[in-house]
Amino acid sequence: MRELMTGNEAIARGVYESGITFAAAYPGTPSTEILETLATRYRDDLHAEWAPNEKVAVESAIGYSFVGGRAFSSMKQVGLNVAADPLFSFAYEGANGGFVFVTADEPGIHSSQTEQDNRFYAGMMDIIMLEPSDSQECKDMVIEGIRLSEKFNIPVMVRMTTRVCHSKSFVEMGERTEVPKREYVRDVWQRTTMPAVSIKLRHEILEKLPKMAAASEESDFNYSIINEGAKIGVVTSGISFQYAKDALGDAASYFKVGFPFPLPTEKIREFASKFDKLYVIEESEPFLEFQLKDKHIDCIGRELFPQEGELSTAIIKEKVLGIRNETIDLPVEKIKARPPVFCAGCPHRGLFYELGKRAKSGKIFISGDIGCYGISPLPPFNATDTIVCMGESVSGGHGAAKAFEYYGTDMKSVSVLGDSTFFHSGMTGLLDIVYNHSNSLVIIMDNRTTGMTGHQDNPGTGYTARGTEAPAADITAIVKAFGIKNVRTINPLVLAEVSKALDWGLGLSEPAVIITRWPCALKKFSPDDLAEFDTSRHLFEVQADKCIGCKKCTQTACPALRYDNESKKAGIYAPSCNGCGICAQVCPADAISMVK
C-alpha cells in the first residue's frame, strides 16, 4: 500500500517501522510535524515527547540509547546549534541502542534566523549522514540509519531541507519491526568524557571513519543514472537532485548522493572519469565540492551556482544550458509585500502597543526573541530593537543593562519573550540577571502555548505532546525562586493594566518580571484555559457617526480593522473580529463598542 506523505510524515513512519521506541524534540519549522505525527498517529506504539529545548531532547535520547533502547530526535537547523554540545561528545562515546536524529535546514530562510548548512556538522562530528530527496527516502533512511547506527555504534544524522520536509510524495508502507532492548553493560572507559577516555575515543572514531566510508561506497543510497550519449556528469544530493533531473533531463548523467558523509569518493571518481565536465549541484555551501576537490576530483560548483537562497530547476537550466524559461511579464513590482501581522485577538498586541509608545522616547533598549512577536520591530509598533536566537532576549538584555550602568547611559533594558522560549533557554539568562545584579525588566508573554510553530504544548501548559495531563510549571514561582523580588502578572488585553505595569517596571532600579497571561487567539482552548479565562467570543463595532477618522485604532494593526480613505471612517470586519477590545480602548472618541 502506498500513501502520499510529507517528508516529515515519512520520517515519522520510518521511526515507527524501524522499531524506535523513544522520540523527543522541540518544535521548529520546518521539522515540527515529525514529532507531532509520532505523538498522534503512532502515540500507542512509542513514547514521543516535547522537550523544553533541543539539547534536552537530544540528551534524553542519548540516555535512552546508552541503556539499550532505540532513540530519535528531530530539530530545525538552528536547533542543532543548541543540541550540538551533547552530540559532539556522544559521537565519541557511541550509541548502544540505534540513534538517529534529523536536522531540517532552511535554504531560502522561510521561517528561520540563518541559512546554515548543517551537513558540515556531520563532518565535524565524524558521524554518518544521510540526505533524502523525497518522502520514500525519508522513511528508508531512518530505517537504514538505525541499522548503520547499531553497526558502527554511532549517532546517524538525516539532513533534510524545507522542500523535502514540506513536500508530499508517495511512500510504500511497511511493517514495524519490534526489537528487544540491547543489553546495558557499565563501561566508564567508553561512556564518560574524562580526558584520558576522550583521547582514546577520539582515536577510535578516526579508526571508524574509513570503515564508514566503505559503507558509503557500498550503499544503495549512492548510485548513478547513466544516460547514453550524455556529455555532462552531475553529482548532486537532496532536493537539488530533483531540480537537476528536471532541468537537464537525459542531456546529463547523474551521480545521486544519498549518503554524503563520509562521501563515496571512489565511486564518484569512477563516475567522473566518463565525462569531460563534472558539475556539483548542491544547495547552500559547497559541502560535496570541498570533499571532491580534497580528493583531486575536478568539478564545477560554487563558481557557477549561488551559495545563497534556494536552488531551482530554472537556475540550473540557466547556469548549465544557458536557457531561460519564457515568462509572462507584468509589472509585478507594483504589488507590495504582504507583511505578516498579529492575528485579531492576539494577546501580544496590547503589550507591544504600549511598549512601542514608550520606545519613542529613545530611552529603552528592547531585546527581543524568537516567536510570533518577531514582527514587533516593524511599524506600527516599532517595539523591539534586536533579535538573535532563542532566549537571547534575557541574557542580551542583561549585557545591555550592564553597559548602560558602566557608561552611565540613561537607558533601560527590557527583554521580551514567550512562555515556551522562556522554558527553552530564557531561564538561565534570568538567573544571570539576579546573580549579577542587572537593572533589567523581563516581560514573559505567557500565551499558554508554543504559538509560532502551530500550538504545541510545553512544560507550562499542563499537557504533554500526546495530550495527557502534566503538572503545569508555574512561571511566577520559578522567577521568585530565582530571587526576583518584583513580579507582576497582568491581563494584556487590558491596556490600563499593561500601562501601569510597564511604568512600574521601567521605574524600578532592580530586576523585575512582568508576566502577561492570556491564551493565543488561535489556540484550541484546554479545559484549564476555559476555566481560567473568559474565552467567549465578543464582537466590536465602530459607530460611524462618532468616528472622527483619527486612525488611532489602526495603529494597533489588527487585521479586522478597516480604514476607508473616502469616508475617512474606521470599520471592523465582523468575521475577522475576535472581540479582544483593544481598538475600543485606544479610541479617543468612544466610537467603538461591544455589540455581542
Partner 1 sequence: MTKSILLVGVGGQGTILASKLLTIGLGQEGYDVKMSEIHGMSQRGGSVSTQIRFGEQVNAPVIGLGEAELIVAFEEEETYRWMKYLKPGGKVVMNKFRIPSSPMLTGDEVYPEGLIDEISAKVETTVIPASEEAAKLGSPQSMNIVLLGALVKAMGLTDIDWEKIMKENTKPAFLEKNLQAFRVGMDYLA
- Binding-site residues, please? 547, 550, 553, 558, 577, 580, 583, 587
Among 374, 377, 399, 462, binds partner 1 (CB under 8 A): 374
Minimum Å gap between C-beta 132 and partner 1 is: 12
Q: Does 170 bind partner 1 (CB under 8 A)?
A: yes
The distance of closest approach from Cβ of residue 462 to partner 1 in the complex, given in angstroms and rounded to an integer, is 25
Beta bridge partners of 5: 169
Cα–Cα distance between 582 and 561 in angstroms, integer? 11
The interface with partner 1 within residues 106-135 (CB under 8 A) comprises 110-111, 134
Got the DSSP string for 254-316?
EEEES--BS--HHHHHHHHTT-SEEEEE-SSS-HHHHHHHHTT---B-TTTS-SSS---HHHH
Candidate segments 272-280, 368-376, 430-438, 506-514, binder of partner 1 by CB under 8 A: 368-376
Residue 591 CA to residue 554 CA, distance in Å, equals: 13
Question: How far is residue 24's CA from residue 102's CA, in Å, rounded to a whole number?
Answer: 11
Told to check if 461 binds partner 1 by CB under 8 A, we report no
Does 287 participate in binding partner 1 (rule CB under 8 A)? Answer: no
Asked whether 515 and 347 are in contact (CB, 8 A), the reply is: no
Helix (H, G, I), strand (E, B) or coil at 403: helix
- Among 40, 113, 192, 312, which residue interacts with partner 1 (rule: CB under 8 A)? 312
Residue 521: CB minimum distance to partner 1, A = 11
To partner 1, the closest distance from the beta carbon of 60 in angstroms equals: 26
Please report how close the Cβ of residue 328 comes to partner 1 at its closest, in angstroms: 5
Map the footprint of partner 1 across residues 1-20, applying CB under 8 A: 4
By the 10 Å C-beta count (0-12 exposed, 13-18 middle, 19+ buried), 371 is classed as: buried
When the beta carbons of 186 and 324 are compared against partner 1, the nearer one is 324
Task: Tell me how many residues contact partner 1 (CB under 8 A).
Answer: 57
Site for partner 1 contains 29 (CB under 8 A): yes
Tell whether residue 30 is a contact of partner 1 (CB under 8 A): yes
Q: Is 588 in the site for partner 1 (CB under 8 A)?
A: no
Where does residue 378 fall: left (phi above 0), alpha (psi -120 to 50 degrees), or beta otherwise? beta
Does position 464 interact with partner 1 (CB under 8 A)? The reply is: no
Residues counted in the chain: 596
* Residue number with CB closer to partner 1 (454 or 527): 454
Q: Does 555 bind partner 1 (CB under 8 A)?
A: yes
Residue 106 or 126 with smaller CB distance to partner 1? 106
Applying CB under 8 A, among 11, 239, 364, 401 the residue interacting with partner 1 is 239
Which of the stretches 279-287, 296-304, 357-365, 369-377 binds partner 1 when contact is defined by CB under 8 A?
369-377
Return phi, psi of residue 586, to 5°.
-95, -10
Question: How far from chain centre, in Å, is Cα 89?
Answer: 23
User: Applying CB under 8 A, which of residues 162, 219, 222, 421 lies at the interface with partner 1?
Assistant: 162
CB of 375 to partner 1, least distance (A): 8
Task: State the burial class of residue 220 (Cβ atoms within 10 Å of its Cβ: 0-12, 13-18, 19+).
Answer: exposed
Pairing between β-strand 22-25 and β-strand 512-517 as defined by DSSP bridges: unpaired
CA pair distance 589, 449, nearest whole angstrom? 35
Q: Confirm or reject binding of residue 82 to partner 1 (CB under 8 A).
A: no
Scanning 67-75, 124-132, 282-290, 339-347 for contacts with partner 1 by CB under 8 A, the matching segment is 339-347
DSSP category for residue 251? G
Residues paired with 594 in a beta bridge: 540
453 belongs to the binding site for partner 1 (CB under 8 A) = yes
> Does 388 sit near partner 1 (CB under 8 A)?
no
Only segment of 85-93, 243-251, 279-287, 477-485 that touches partner 1 (CB under 8 A) = 243-251
3-class SS letters over 437-497: CCCEEEEEEECCCECCCCCECCCCCCECCCCCECCCCCHHHHHHHHCCCEEEEECCCCHHH
Q: Is 452 in the site for partner 1 (CB under 8 A)?
A: yes
Q: Which grid coordinates belong to 44?
A: 500507542
Residue 336 binds partner 1, judged by CB under 8 A: yes
**DSSP assigned state of 120:** H
* Minimum CB distance to partner 1, residue 115 (Å): 15
DSSP helix/strand/coil, 165: helix
- Does position 328 interact with partner 1 (CB under 8 A)? The reply is yes
Known binding positions for [4Fe-4S] cluster? 547, 550, 553, 558, 577, 580, 583, 587
What is the rounded CA–CA span in Å between residue 6 and residue 307?
Answer: 26
Closer to partner 1 by Cβ: residue 313 or 535: 313
Indicate the residue type of 440: S
Name the residue nearer to partner 1 (CB basis): 163 or 448. 163
Residue 30 CB contacts under 8 Å (≥ 6 apart), including other chains: 8, 76, 104, 106, 110, 111, 160, 161, 162, 165, 166
* Least spacing, CB of residue 508 vs partner 1, in Å: 34
Note the residues at the interface with partner 1 (CB under 8 A). Answer: 4, 29-30, 32, 110-111, 134, 162-163, 166-170, 239, 242-243, 245-246, 312-314, 325-330, 332, 334-343, 372, 374-375, 380, 452-454, 551, 554-555, 557-559, 561-565
